[in-house]
């Protein structure tokens, strides 16, 4: 055994409290598995946000439509990497396609991932950008022209009929993509909720809670990236767009918090034998991550800030919140929500493994710095989507001012 690993294991043994079984000293799912549901949640939430403009005609959020699609794509490309790194033999991952196991929810993730990436995200982005790709390729020179010409896939027809078909096809794919987004992240909650042996996870509300927390994290991430993008480009923020995004974010946050509170109240009412060890764990090992980071800083603080500025925005006759105050409130709320959602994933994945099957003992989780399961590897995977998004934004600018002129008749 590696000396550093042995030393960490020794420190864990010294902090074990109560009676636990020998195979419960070391947690099987660590920081990589925490990153996985967080990343997939951003994917689902960002796509659902994009559907507001395409399907539900919410025109105020149009400035973030393409940015939401590219955000979903960049995080989707990284989504399977934490699991592959955790498995230890990522070269064997293709076997789930050759020998599919319909009885394994984890094995079916490969098919859900392939469907969502190839059929939903890539196709919708291509149909939405095709006209602009053709016009960019005609107007540009050098490598960018070649890149945009290749991305057209030879479809250079800009007739009115062709452009109208692009819009119809994109809208149809969005209709398919909405339930697909629910399936993508709902399946993650399904995996945890179906573990009957773990009282922290075994709840029918877990998939629903995961879905709404995904909507919260996705909307907050797009809002944060949109504001940072405007700051970098030195253009004013569309406050109508920011106000509408914050309204949707507040509503989703309220529903998410209500569902989590309902789940907790239901556990208290049932008063199962596990409630004692769960309450003990919340007040000790998970007090910082659950009470402070998730509930206070990650939920109540941004909820209060958004409720304050949103109510002031909607009641102009009484009070008009200044734009500068609203911008800072939206930005800080989006940052705190990301901290809160990541803490939620931490509490579910790690917290659900800290107590013994005997329900009479607790252990601790020590984060390693190096190795595939270490802090640096997980931090790198969390930063990788932003690097991919930066490249995508350079190739496919999502901003309204970057869109090409309306299509001309003919080819």
Residue 217 DSSP class: H
Contacts with 323 (C-beta within 8 Å, 6 or more apart), sequence order: 239
Name the residue among 361, 369, 194, 177 with its Cα closest to residue 285.
361
**DSSP notation for 297-333:** IIIIHHHHHHHHHHHHHH-TTT----HHHHHHHHHHH
Beta-bridge mates of residue 362? 17, 355
Crossing angle of the two packed helices 31-54 and 375-395, in degrees rounded to 10: 20
Read off φ and ψ for residue 87, nearest 5 degrees: -65, -30
3-state SS class at 34: helix
Q: 345-367 burial by CB neighbour count: b if 16+ within 10 A, else e?
A: bbbbbbbbbbbbeebebbbbbee
3-state SS class at 361: strand
pLDDT tens, the chain, 411 aa long: 556 666 665 655 555 565 565 555 667 778 888 998 899 889 988 988 888 888 788 888 889 999 999 999 999 999 888 888 887 777 777 777 777 777 777 777 778 778 887 778 899 899 999 999 999 988 888 888 999 999 998 888 888 898 899 889 888 888 888 888 777 777 777 777 766 667 777 777 788 888 888 899 999 999 999 999 999 999 999 988 999 999 999 999 999 999 888 888 877 776 666 667 677 777 777 788 888 999 999 999 999 999 888 765 555 544 456 788 888 999 999 999 999 999 999 888 888 777 766 666 677 777 778 777 778 888 999 999 999 999 999 999 998 776 765 544 444
pTM: 0.86
User: What pLDDT, on a 0 to 100 scale, did the predictor assign at position 410?
Assistant: 43
3-state SS class at 362: strand
The Cα-based distances of 71 to 104, 128, 153, 334, 361 in angstroms read 29, 15, 22, 15, 42
């Amino acid at each position: 055994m590696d000396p550093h690993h042995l030393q960490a294991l020794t420190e864990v043994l010294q902090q074990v409290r109560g009676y636990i079984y020998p195979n419960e000293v070391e947690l099987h799912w660590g920081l990589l598995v925490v990153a996985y549901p967080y990343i997939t949640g951003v994917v689902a939430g960002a796509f659902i946000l994009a559907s507001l403009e395409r399907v539900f005609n919410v025109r105020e959020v149009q400035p973030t439509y393409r940015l939401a699609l590219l955000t979903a794509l960049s995080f989707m490309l990284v989504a399977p990497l934490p699991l592959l790194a955790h498995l230890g033999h990522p070269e064997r991952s293709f076997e789930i396609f050759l020998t599919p196991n319909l009885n394994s929810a984890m094995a079916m993730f490969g098919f859900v991932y392939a469907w969502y990436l190839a059929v939903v995200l890539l196709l919708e982005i291509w149909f939405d950008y095709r006209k602009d790709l053709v016009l960019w390729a005609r107007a540009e020179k050098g490598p960018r022209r070649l890149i945009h010409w290749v991305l057209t896939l030879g479809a250079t027809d800009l007739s009115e009929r062709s452009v109208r078909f692009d819009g119809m096809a994109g809208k149809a794919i969005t209709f398919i993509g909405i339930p697909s987004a629910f399936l993508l992240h709902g399946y993650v909650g399904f995996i945890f909720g179906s573990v009957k042996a773990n009282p922290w996870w075994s709840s029918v509300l877990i998939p629903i809670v995961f879905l709404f927390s995904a909507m919260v994290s996705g909307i907050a991430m797009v809002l944060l990236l949109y504001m940072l993008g405007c700051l970098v480009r030195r253009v004013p923020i569309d406050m109508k767009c920011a106000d509408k995004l914050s309204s949707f974010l507040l509503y989703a946050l309220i529903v998410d918090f209500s569902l989590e509170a309902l789940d907790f109240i239901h556990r208290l009412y049932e008063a199962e034998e596990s409630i004692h060890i769960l309450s003990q764990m919340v007040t000790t090992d998970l007090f910082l991550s659950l009470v402070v980071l998730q509930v206070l800083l990650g939920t109540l603080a941004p909820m209060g800030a958004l409720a304050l500025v949103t109510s002031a925005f909607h009641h102009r006759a009484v009070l008009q919140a200044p734009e500068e105050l609203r911008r800072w409130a939206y930005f800080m709320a989006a940052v705190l929500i990301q901290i809160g959602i990541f803490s939620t994933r931490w509490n579910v994945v790690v917290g659900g493994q800290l107590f013994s099957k005997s329900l009479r003992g607790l252990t601790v989780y020590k984060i390693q710095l190096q190795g595939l399961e270490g802090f640096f590897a997980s931090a790198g995977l969390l930063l990788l989507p932003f690097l991919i998004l930066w490249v995508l934004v350079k190739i496919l600018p999502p901003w309204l001012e970057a869109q090409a002129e309306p299509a001309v008749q003919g080819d």
